[in-house]
Amino acid sequence: MKALLIRDLRLATRAGGGFGLALAFFLIVCTLVPFGVGPEGGQLSRIAPGILWVGALLSCLLSLDRIFALDFEDGSLDLLATAPLPLEGTVAIKAFAHWLVTGLPLALSAPVFGLLLHLPGPAYPWLVASLMLGTPALSMLGAFGAAVTVGLRRGGLLMSLLVLPLYVPTLIFGAEAVRRGAAGADPVTPLVFLAAITLATLALAPFAAAAALRVNLR
Amino acid sequence: MSIWEYANPVKFMRTSGAVLPWVAAAAAVCTVAGLVWGFLTPQDYKQGSTVKIIFLHVPAALMAINIWLMMLVTSLIWLVRRHHVSALAAKAAAPVGAVMTLIALITGAIWGQPMWGTWWEWDPRLTSFLILFLFYLGYMALWGAVENPDSAADLTGVLCLVGSVFALLSRYAVNFWNQGLHQGASLSMAPGERMSAVYRYPLYLTMAGFFLLFLALLLVRTRTEIRRRRLAALLARENRA
């Protein structure tokens, strides 16, 4: 398991692995929004929690097809499927690697992007906390979407249609926590719901993703 | 009679062919009679004639949810017992469900414009119906994208299971996110909020009509799918010869 994790991390961080692409995309989203809605600080700080969460969600989506597609093409996914490690474990490890190279950097760097959008001061810790709690669910659900569409030509577009509706509950609770933090209200309730969704997703989605992978490898 | 007998397409085609005209006729009678009766009801003292949209809106919304539930059950039957007709029935039901969702959304917008003063409001019920519509679209797109029919049935089955969990989760998450404008249950049995009998009986009739309509469409579409499968098998055999 550790070997697989290290291999995936190496593949993602070396040249052509697309590491940092998600962060760059997040930066572009945060740059474009003020052009769209106007540079007025008050308006920006009002919509900042939502924009930051939607931006994080889209940047996460961007690199999802890499979770399985390359391994599917060169056949190493077949080897992983016949390896002694259960396919559910493989899926969970690959989703974890995806989180380490996209979700974690996004959560840690989000305060910088918050500055760009005039996020109100008290919201910063909650922004990081909600992204830390929520992005693992995004990676895991994304792994499910990638597993369903791995065998398809031009599966990327279809995958976003399948995955984005699944992101709705995570987005609602994540953005709500930041919004409450910004307003000075108590953000613990949405954070608890967010943690519940993430834990349930981590527990159940690997089985669905592995079932889909087995169908696609048949 | 058990559903396992109808895993045999020949048996299914024979029975469904015999039942279909009766179901279709009953659907036409109930829907038309219910809608005409509904149209002739007196105007509501507050809502005026717009109250009559309920005879399209409520049955469509009811079917939109129940068709997804039916797809969940048929997908499970396929995944567990490899019941081919069951998988095809799930495939056949999806577009009907998507259209029902769309009818509920559109009639709701037409009613909402004069009553709430807006075509669309980010109300929990409206939002969760929009999300349900997205789930229908994704499900149908996946059926269209996978070439091998058995893989397509498996993948869409798994998607239907996961989607059901998240559709339900979204339904309650949006409650948290915004307060509702939509009224509570339309068919409450509590004495104080019970709908007047003038509107209730035609509504029951259109609900029965929409259910029968769905059943008729489902049978027609499942029969078409089975014939398409047979045609594909025949063509494959011809190509091999």
- Contact check, Cβ <8 Å, A193/B155: no
Q: Does A108 touch chain B (CB under 8 A)?
A: no
Mean pLDDT, chain A, integer: 86
- Does the pLDDT at position A72 exceed 90? no
B187 secondary structure, DSSP code? T
- Does the pLDDT at position B192 exceed 60? no
Angstrom distance (rounded) from CA B103 to CA B191? 30
Mean pLDDT, chain B, integer: 85
B9 is a domain residue: no
Q: Other CB atoms closer than 10 Å to residue A159's CB: what's the count?
A: 25
What residues does each domain of chain A span? 2-217
Number of independent structural domains in chain B: 1
- Three-class SS of residue B44? strand
pLDDT in tens, A167-210: 988 998 998 888 888 888 888 888 999 999 999 999 999 999 99
Q: How many CB pairs under 8 A join A and B?
A: 74
Specify the length of chain A in residues. Answer: 218
pLDDT recorded at residue A101: 87
pLDDT in tens, B157-172: 999 999 999 888 888 8
pLDDT recorded at residue B221: 93
Minimal Cβ distance to A148: which of B134, B137, B159? B159
To 10 degrees, the CA torsion angle through A95, A130, B163, A79?
Answer: 0
Nearest chain A alpha carbon to B156: A148
- The residues that bridge with B214 in the sheet, in sequence order, are none
Nearest chain B alpha carbon to A161: B138
pLDDT recorded at residue B190: 56
Region B18-32 average pLDDT: 91
pLDDT band at B189 (very low <50, low <70, confident <90, very high): low
B83 is a domain residue: yes
Greatest distance between any 2 Cα atoms in chain A: 57
Nearest chain B alpha carbon to A216: B151
pLDDT band at B188 (very low <50, low <70, confident <90, very high): low
B175 is a domain residue: yes
pLDDT band at A16 (very low <50, low <70, confident <90, very high): low
- Contact check, Cβ <8 Å, A169/B170: yes
pLDDT recorded at residue B72: 94
B23 is a domain residue: no
Q: Which domain holds residue B88?
A: 53-196+218-240
pLDDT band at B184 (very low <50, low <70, confident <90, very high): low
Higher pLDDT pick, B184 / B136: B136
pTM over 0.90: no
